Amino acid sequence: MHPFLSPAACPVAARPEGRAVPPHVPREQVATVSAPPRTTRTMQLSRFLQSDDLLASLKGMEPGRLRETMLARTRQWYDAHPGEHDLVRANMQRFGLDSSERAVDAVIEHVALHYFEKLVPLCMGTGDFREFLDARVDAADAAAAIAAARKNGKGVLVASGHFGAVEFVVPALATHNLPIAAALRFKTEEFSRSAHAHARAFAESGLFSPISFIEVGRPGTHAALDMAAALRRKDVLLSVFDEKTDYSVEVSLFGRKVWGGAGLDKLMAFAGADAAAFAAFMIRDAGEGYRLSLSELETGPAGFVRQMYAHLERVARAHPEQWYFLHEDIPFVEQA
């Protein structure tokens, strides 16, 4: 399993008056803080695209062949589930986006690319993956902005949405000598062991900076404390902001109210002036290239979540086909 799975939401608890503290959260409470289980149909799609036979055949597969395989398998699944086209179209209509058949097909194509990006590291060794990233991903300007913030004595929160090639954000930044902590949830203990093994191998190769994982919901751990500690160490902390959690707030997106923020506003309120924050989107460019777009966020309590969603709306308006949530159940505040 690809070691850089999509990050999990921030499990930061808040006192009644709203001040964020890194709590000793009971195990059963931590398990409810991150994103809710994915819908059954999305799990079916995931299992189909990441079948045991495909995973067993990945080693040594050319990236181009994997890309075409994922595109073909995704089209096959959607052809067998025509109602899923309707979900994509309905989501696009609710946000006022182009919902033509061509636009829906483009979203489905980019769902396939998401799984390609998850699996492509398994096709190659560490050196080849580094060459793949160097050749295709432009993250130099983003890495320089993050490095400048760290040089000024700040930890850095990189808040990413489920958009574009989110799977490449961590490894791409790790090619720029930035120590990274990714907050995420592993589905099984096997996935956890595999991810840690991959991260060790990457670091030992000398081609990537150290990558650590903050496992949300893992028994005996306290993700909120670990996330705050990463910022205090002046590390780069990656977490997603566009999931509904117990600490999400109402925010406007394309004129609709959704649940968002995932508690990152509370984390930043606790970190205060000692941390910088950026909204990050790994945009798929023409010609199978990628570009990490970074926008600095004002870290004061007023409008922090709103800023992240303003940037999400900007990139989603420019590249709606790359917005991963368009094929899922979106956490609208009002469902009508």
Q: Is residue 24 part of a domain?
A: yes
Please report, for the domain that includes residue 317, its CATH number.
3.40.1130
* pLDDT tens for the 336 residues of the chain, in order: 344 444 444 444 333 333 333 333 333 333 333 333 445 677 889 889 988 899 889 889 999 999 999 999 999 999 999 999 999 999 999 999 999 999 999 999 999 999 999 999 889 989 999 999 999 999 999 999 999 999 999 999 999 999 999 999 999 999 999 999 988 766 556 666 667 777 787 878 899 999 888 877 666 667 878 888 999 999 999 999 998 888 899 999 999 999 999 889 989 888 776 899 999 999 999 889 999 999 999 987 779 999 999 999 999 999 999 999 999 888 788 665
Domain coverage including residue 304: 13-33+125-327
Q: Is residue 274 part of a domain?
A: yes
Q: Is residue 230 part of a domain?
A: yes
Q: Is residue 66 part of a domain?
A: no
Q: Is residue 112 part of a domain?
A: no
Residue pair 136/290 in contact by the 8 Å Cβ criterion: yes
How many domains is the chain partitioned into structurally? 1
Q: Is residue 94 part of a domain?
A: no
Q: Is residue 19 part of a domain?
A: yes
Record the pTM.
Answer: 0.85
Q: Is residue 321 part of a domain?
A: yes
